Amino acid sequence: MSISKFVEETGAQMRIFDLGRRIQKISKADFADIESLNKPYPSPYLQHAWIGIITWNPKKVGNHNIWFLKLPLDEQNFIQPGDRDAFLNHWLRCLQYPDKEHGEAPCYYKPDQNRMAYFHSLALATLGQPHSNYYATTRAYLSGDMGWENWQQLGLQGIAEVVVNIDKDQNAKLVTQAITNMPSTPLNTLLGFLENIEPDFPLSVAINDRLAKVIADNAQPADLAAFIRALSHSQNIQQRKMLIEVILLHPKATSIEVLASIASRCWQDLSGELLLAFLNVLATNEKGQDAFNALIADLMPLANKREHILQAFRSEKRSEALMNAIGNLMKSVQQAGN
């Protein structure tokens, strides 16, 4: 039995989200194909499918469940049915023996605070439930009425709800205007949530303008990573690639936080000269060979990435540092195979 079939037989509705590289909806049809092994998982992260599921019964108001699953993937990015089945069997036992203690479900994981806040905001919207009290407070702050330095009372939940509802209550306008003035701490939190949406043109311009000021004012790795994430889903692909090019030239680009943000959020942009520029910087990253190997291992299973990476590995424009990193990577692969 599949998760899709299990939920259907209980009479419940289901909404599925990918929680890996960014939080995005997976259609029920696509999820059914993934479960039946007709499709590979579209956006693997660290060789797993990170999934959040909301189920609810329309006939039982207020009765809903939230599941978080971390399912291992094979080399072709297909789920491994045995792990999914272990998760299902756990819930079948829970239904059959509701008074017994069954422990934690197999493949369960707990998302980090930011992802949890954003997913909870999606759940509120999906289930038609009211906003938290933090929503109004966050909107008041973004309007500038509270003073830009008075951000300490903001909650992750409120910022997440504003982004989830970016197309309502003039939230896009509020966020666009606020980005110019917000201090770095609340701004970076907001930028992190923006990775889950496609910012419109005015919002993208505001983000780019603020980034230019941040770069001119001694940007830190956390700042650069936050801006990468915020623009990683923007509709202006050329602008996004130019952003990556500029950041790769920054002295702080060797930070693994910056490089991991590019690899995990902007992987679709990494090809040709831009991929080679990324790899040349990655070869000099602050954490060394292990970090290089880890990011390459994460990128390789993604659609069309293996061919592009191997082509870049053979490029005549490789830096000496990249050639050394490639050699060390090959040695570690050979040792692992022995």
Residue 135, CB-side half-sphere exposure with 13 Å CA sphere: 19
Q: Looking at the structure, tell me whether residues 131 and 92 fall in a common domain.
A: no
> Are residue 307 and residue 234 in the same domain, yes or no?
yes
Q: How far apart are CA 183 and CA 120, in angstroms?
A: 25
101 lies in some domain: no
The whole-number average pLDDT for the span 319-329 is: 97
pLDDT tens, position by position, 2-60: 999 988 888 889 999 999 999 999 999 999 999 999 999 999 999 999 999 999 988 87
* CA dist., res. 104 & res. 101, Å (int): 9
Residue 65: which H helix or E strand, with range?
A: strand 64-72
Q: Grade residue 338 by pLDDT with cuts at 50, 70 and 90.
A: low
pTM (2 decimals)?
Answer: 0.92
Cα angle value 152/154/157 (rounded, 5°): 145
Q: What angle do CA 334, 296, 292 make, to 5 degrees?
A: 85
Q: Is the dihedral of CA 170, 186, 196, 54 positive or negative?
A: negative
Give pLDDT tens digits for 165-194.
999 999 999 999 999 999 999 999 999 999
**For residues 307-325, average pLDDT:** 97
One domain, residues 84 and 123: no
DSSP 119-174: HHHHHHHHHTPPPPHHHHHHHHHHTTTT-TT--TT--HHHHHHHHHTTTSTTHHHH
d(CA 79, CA 29): 16
Q: Are residues 161 and 20 in the same domain?
A: no
How many alpha carbons lie under 13 Å from residue 263 in its C-beta half-sphere? Answer: 29
By residue range, what is the domain housing residue 87?
Answer: 3-96
Q: Residue 16: which of 44, 52, 46 has the closest Cα?
A: 52
User: For strand 64-72 and strand 48-56, is the pairing parallel, antiparallel, or unpaired?
Assistant: antiparallel
Contact between 184 and 150 (Cβ < 8 Å): no
Specify if 103 maps to a domain: no
Number of domains in the chain: 2
SS3 category, 76? coil
Work out the pLDDT band at 121, boundaries 50, 70, 90.
Answer: very high
pLDDT at 91 over 90: no
Same domain, 190 and 239: yes
DSSP at 55: E
